[in-house]
Structure 1
């Protein structure tokens, strides 16, 4: 019986090849998206779940309470050791200090090879490898990092640095002077971990790299590099540990207005919590999952539309089958078999499309998703389950319609539209499809406009044609390098600075103002820079003057926000007042800068201070002429490399750095673009099926209208009126939903575009245009049909 079902289904699809093609394409696109979304969501949910007892692993994080609350994933460096010495809550406690973008040197016979390790280095306590499951291939995890200047490296890094030579006891250099000996080889880190550094150096070596951070007395501040992990004993709760942590604040930070609250963050939360720089918000995964579900529903709706429209062509077949004794359930399962065959073919198409699209998905997400259909058990279960769901979701309603035909009525050809579900059912399904498409279109236009606003809005400084170069020499040589760069044709100005006005990293502290005995309650962003900073970045003075050239701090520039935080009536009141930061940088405020955005538009403008400090400069900011950028960049590279023969040259345009603030939004825009296109394409297939059905049903009506003198335009309006009504109904559903979702999305930005009506006008106009193109062929074909033939066919 089952064999007969599929044989009949195959013959039916062969006779109706266009119907089959449209359905296979529509379902294939929907299933492809569902597979990719499932694989991506599964990939992100798997982050760091492979560690033994992962439910007992926590990261200690800090809430900083000033005038507002900020969240950092780091803690003061001594906290981990103090907690380990004072309490026995943890089976293991380990600190790790990670520094990105490190130059590694390997000395071989006659030469020194240089490597830029983008994932950086990590100074690590041995307990880290007892908390986390990163297996060693050579060496002993408990002893390999006990001695100073020793390291564990992954297979990838070992091959990169030493080639095919056994890496054990090989050496390399960091920070130009610290020689490190390899004592163990790690298996390559899996892609689904937030641990990115692949060079783990013994923690005692941190003293040679950053003496302040390595000190067990450095309670005064937090460096983002320092993380602390704890694996709790089985009967210990996170609340018990958090209960003892305030004692460290009272003991070591009682006088500070920057009140710390140390919390335990579960390992399962690390990847997703945006407060603590999680790389993927769970809300984004929910959005992806819902879009995948919507696309499957849209594709299934298409199938239902086309199947019910096709039902009239099968009325005779069903009537004969029933007259010969076929039962209702047999007709139903016959149609389900046909749906299953279409779904199976669509599934094969989807697997091929998913395999082709996967590299682009990985590139967009910065992920390493894999589609191992044969070895991945969850994927192996998901795909058949999805195909089964789609088969019954798409096939049940049309199957019931066909199975419900009365044999006499079917054989006489007296079936009405209402018998096969009528227009109303198909209209409702089309409305649902285009409501989803229009909501996606609104989201597309809003996100694109917010991205344009973020790119083009006035930031309070000039970010165009500014090249950021690293400082890679001793402080006393930086002025020499600056002068050499200024000699180059095409270079307009050069500033020595800690960072650009807006950068992906920051230096913050709580200042002392006007010789007050207590620090202020707000955090200030610090911008160590020379006197060329204002001219290089086009920063505008609103009061006072620029700082004079100096190597040490004795004068400050502050921004207008500083005056507002101090409740002053005008920026001029700041002039001549003293400012002290970090206890060792003291001076007088000599100028006030117009406010500039030091963060992304997600955040408010911070109080900021610019001051000279030659030891605090990290970069050369080079303003270049736009007339011949390529030649100027080549000259800069040659000059920098000549002055730094032992370093690797690298540069980055400031506008590219700022664009990276919105990587998540750029990714979301790409996804919405892709999914909107697919949703509209699937919707158009359904619309095409509806118009085709209408043309078939209205053949006699159109013939009579033409005989009575109706014009082609009037005939076309029959179809246009129907489609326009459906589009408008869909819009009334989509508009409030899109308004609510996009309003919520824009609230994540402190500075954002207004959510005006233009986005909704463009969305409905776009869907109208697509719908017009979709229905025009069938509509014109019906309108141009010879009325003699159409009436004769009736």
Structure 2
């Protein structure tokens, strides 16, 4: 019986190639999206779940209770030591201090190789590898990183630095300052972890590299200072966080007792907390899940549409089968068999499409996702079964209930297969999903365009950022003079960070010698006197600070002044202290506000000060008409000044573009899914119009004989679908507004959702749909009426 079902189903599909092809393509596109989205979600949910006892591993983070509550995914350096020594909750606790923009030099005889490690390095306590599961391939796990100037690297880095030589005992130099000996090699870091460091150095060497003042500094938080703990069995997160209040009481006084709080974050949640430096956000994964679900539903709707439209063409076949004794359930399973064959073919095509799309998806996310076939196979089986029954049940029931006498006499009408009422609902469903995605695409594009073109309060164009390896005053002075003489260079400044940066220093501030620090922090930026002119930051009061090594003056922004509830003129000449009151000076100017973070974050209080000990970047304003020769000259001078370093530069506007990397990824995904939804919808429209043309062959012939023109016949097809598209738009518009309103909440500064966005959406949908309908309808309208009437 089953064999017969399959044989007859296959013959029917071969006989109706257009119907079968459209159905397969629609289902394959929807299922391919489902496979890719399942793989993407499964990949992100797997982050840092592979560690042993992962349910007991936590990362420390800091909360500041000032003007509201702010969080940072790092802690003061001595916190983990205090937690380990003073509190009984942790089974093991370890600190790991990350530094980026590092230079590794490997010397072998006369051969000197330099590596700019984007992943940086990590000074690590030995317990780190007992908490997190990064297996050791070579070396002694009992003594790993226990001595000064030891290093552990991954197998990948070992081959990169030393080729096929045994890395154990090999030496490399860090930032031309310190030598480290490799004593261990780790298995390569898995793709699904946010701990991407591949070079681990003994924590005992941290003092020489990072300074002596860090170990006991409870008043500052460096963003690279991470700490992890494995809680003892039975200890809860709430117990440990309550216990850490003792550390606050022990190490803080005055108002700081109310400001500082330390919390724990389960390691599996690190990946999804954007506020604490996480990569993804679970709400976007949920959005992807529903997009995938809607695309599969759209494909199923497309199939049902085509199947019910075709039902009348099979009326006599069903009548004959019923007369010969076929039962309704047999007819039902006959159609389910057809759907199953289409689904199997669609699955094969979908898997092939998914394989082709996986590399572009990995490139988009900078990931190395692979198909987990054990989980994916189960997903494909479940989704295939669901598609078969969702798509095949209704058409099967429709065919099974045909009255054989009416079917054999060809007296069945569209009403007998659900008329247009069902297909209206299905088409509206398809294009509602499509228009929601189109509106979402337009809004994301508009927001990103706004982010890239809005006035940031400073100039970002034609500014080259070059690292400054040493803050040697003589070299800096010489370098500045030589760069200024390059043809095409318009300005040069030395600074710690450009106006907008992901790497920022925030610290408490004392204003006007008040007894207590203010209840908010200030974003400090070290720079020379050319900073304002190079980045074209406007002063609204006062002056720029003077040039000179001994100058202790400040520039503050408007937000700083507003936090004090003063006017710009009121702060000029007032004393101010930052960095635990270790740096004091006079406020000499007030800057117009500029965006010191991305548009996701509000503008914060900023101060710029001429602290020449912390300058790490050269910002060069160039004339882009001579950019090639200017950059070549800059490269030459830099390498002559720092021959032992590795030259690397970045344009300021590229650096700002990195702020919106995830938004661009979201845009690419939504654009792709919107296109696929439209393609599936248009396939369905084309199929429906084709069957309408077949059913209306005689009607069109009669109309043409009676003098109807081409446009009136086209409208015969178009008016039905125009009403349906308008209905879909009415449903889609509020849904899209709600979804995108929530999306824009992630931006402190964003566009407003105006009516023009919805007009663009409905117009684009109408154009696409009319092209699809118009093409097939034109073929019917241009057909010779004599042949049409004769064929009837």
TM-score range, shorter chain: over 0.9
Q: Deviations over 1:291-333 (max 9, x none)?
A: 1111100011111111111111111111111111111111111
Return the alpha-carbon distance in structure 2 between the equivalents of residues 130 and 83 of structure 1: 17
Give the CA deviation at 1:54: 0.5
1:301-450 counterparts in 2 under 5 A? 301-372=301-372, 376-450=373-447
What is the aligned partner in structure 1 of residue 492 from structure 2? 494
- Of 532, 541, 548, 2:546 maps to 548
Q: Deviations over 1:271-300 (max 9, x none)?
A: 101121110100111011111111100011
TM-score norm. by structure 2 comes to 0.98
Return the alpha-carbon distance in structure 1 between the equivalents of residues 669 and 602 of structure 2: 27
What is the aligned partner in structure 1 of residue 515 from structure 2? 517
Q: What is the root-mean-square deviation of aligned Cα atoms in Å?
A: 1.3
What is the aligned partner in structure 2 of residue 641 from structure 1? 639
- Tell whether the 8 Å contact from 1:524 to 1:609 is kept in structure 2 after alignment: yes
Return the alpha-carbon distance in structure 2 between the equivalents of residues 648 and 666 of structure 1: 30
Return the alpha-carbon distance in structure 1 between the equivalents of residues 141 and 476 of structure 2: 41
Return the alpha-carbon distance in structure 2 between the equivalents of residues 256 and 659 of structure 1: 39
What is the aligned partner in structure 1 of residue 163 from structure 2? 163
Return the alpha-carbon distance in structure 2 between the equivalents of residues 418 and 465 of structure 1: 67
What is the aligned partner in structure 2 of residue 147 from structure 1? 147
- Tell whether the 8 Å contact from 1:553 to 1:586 is kept in structure 2 after alignment: no
What is the aligned partner in structure 2 of residue 767 from structure 1? 765
* 1:108 is aligned to 2:108: yes
SS of the residue corresponding to residue 176 of structure 1 reads coil
Moved more, 250-259 or 777-786: 250-259
Give the CA deviation at 1:250: 1.9
Moved more, 184-193 or 133-142: 133-142
What is the aligned partner in structure 1 of residue 225 from structure 2? 226
Moved more, 474-483 or 25-34: 474-483
Return the alpha-carbon distance in structure 2 between the equivalents of residues 474 and 578 of structure 1: 27
Give the CA deviation at 1:434: 0.4
Give the CA deviation at 1:6: 1.2
Give the CA deviation at 1:142: 3.0
Return the alpha-carbon distance in structure 2 between the equivalents of residues 585 and 552 of structure 1: 12
Return the alpha-carbon distance in structure 2 between the equivalents of residues 86 and 545 of structure 1: 50
* 1:89 is aligned to 2:89: yes
What is the aligned partner in structure 2 of residue 606 from structure 1? 604
Return the alpha-carbon distance in structure 2 between the equivalents of residues 719 and 553 of structure 1: 79
What is the aligned partner in structure 2 of residue 703 from structure 1? 701
Return the alpha-carbon distance in structure 1 between the equivalents of residues 609 and 630 of structure 2: 29
Q: Deviations over 1:476-503 (max 9, x none)?
A: 2222212111111111110000111101
Q: Deviations over 1:562-608 (max 9, x none)?
A: 1111101x211111111111122111111111111101111111111
Q: Deviations over 1:666-713 (max 9, x none)?
A: 111101110110000001011112222322333333333333332222
Distance change in 2, residues 1:576/1:214 (3 Å): closer
SS of the residue corresponding to residue 93 of structure 2 reads strand
Return the alpha-carbon distance in structure 1 between the equivalents of residues 214 and 603 of structure 2: 32
Return the alpha-carbon distance in structure 2 between the equivalents of residues 237 and 607 of structure 1: 37
What is the aligned partner in structure 2 of residue 597 from structure 1? 595
* 1:651 is aligned to 2:660: no
What is the aligned partner in structure 1 of residue 253 from structure 2? 254
- Tell whether the 8 Å contact from 1:80 to 1:94 is kept in structure 2 after alignment: yes
Give the CA deviation at 1:256: 4.5
Return the alpha-carbon distance in structure 1 between the equivalents of residues 527 and 339 of structure 2: 69
Q: Deviations over 1:346-368 (max 9, x none)?
A: 11111111111111101111221
Q: Deviations over 1:72-109 (max 9, x none)?
A: 11111111111111122111111111112311011210
SS of the residue corresponding to residue 613 of structure 2 reads helix
What is the aligned partner in structure 2 of residue 129 from structure 1? 129
What is the aligned partner in structure 1 of residue 576 from structure 2? 579
What is the aligned partner in structure 1 of residue 51 from structure 2? 51
Return the alpha-carbon distance in structure 2 between the equivalents of residues 782 and 108 of structure 1: 78
Return the alpha-carbon distance in structure 1 between the equivalents of residues 553 and 53 of structure 2: 54
Q: Deviations over 1:495-541 (max 9, x none)?
A: 00011110121111111111111111121111111010011001111
- Tell whether the 8 Å contact from 1:716 to 1:779 is kept in structure 2 after alignment: yes
SS of the residue corresponding to residue 176 of structure 2 reads coil
Q: Deviations over 1:609-656 (max 9, x none)?
A: 111011111100000001121221111111111211111110000001
- Tell whether the 8 Å contact from 2:87 to 2:243 is kept in structure 1 after alignment: no
Return the alpha-carbon distance in structure 2 between the equivalents of residues 67 and 157 of structure 1: 44
Give the CA deviation at 1:213: 6.1
Return the alpha-carbon distance in structure 1 between the equivalents of residues 510 and 667 of structure 2: 43
What is the aligned partner in structure 2 of residue 237 from structure 1? 236
Q: Deviations over 1:107-158 (max 9, x none)?
A: 2102321111111111111111111111111112231111111111100001
- Tell whether the 8 Å contact from 2:471 to 2:612 is kept in structure 1 after alignment: no
What is the aligned partner in structure 1 of residue 280 from structure 2? 280
- Tell whether the 8 Å contact from 2:105 to 2:115 is kept in structure 1 after alignment: yes
SS of the residue corresponding to residue 304 of structure 1 reads helix
Unaligned residue ranges in structure 2 (runs of 5+): none
Return the alpha-carbon distance in structure 1 between the equivalents of residues 64 and 140 of structure 2: 38
SS of the residue corresponding to residue 62 of structure 1 reads strand
- Tell whether the 8 Å contact from 1:555 to 1:588 is kept in structure 2 after alignment: yes
Return the alpha-carbon distance in structure 1 between the equivalents of residues 504 and 413 of structure 2: 71
- Of 703, 712, 715, 2:713 maps to 715
Return the alpha-carbon distance in structure 1 between the equivalents of residues 592 and 725 of structure 2: 49
Return the alpha-carbon distance in structure 1 between the equivalents of residues 616 and 228 of structure 2: 29
1:719-738 counterparts in 2 under 5 A? 719-738=717-736
Give the CA deviation at 1:732: 0.4
Return the alpha-carbon distance in structure 2 between the equivalents of residues 259 and 236 of structure 1: 26
What is the aligned partner in structure 2 of residue 779 from structure 1? 777
Give the CA deviation at 1:443: 0.5
What is the aligned partner in structure 2 of residue 740 from structure 1? 738
Return the alpha-carbon distance in structure 1 between the equivalents of residues 688 and 731 of structure 2: 20
SS of the residue corresponding to residue 614 of structure 1 reads coil
Unaligned residue ranges in structure 1 (runs of 5+): none
SS of the residue corresponding to residue 63 of structure 1 reads strand
- Tell whether the 8 Å contact from 1:552 to 1:614 is kept in structure 2 after alignment: no
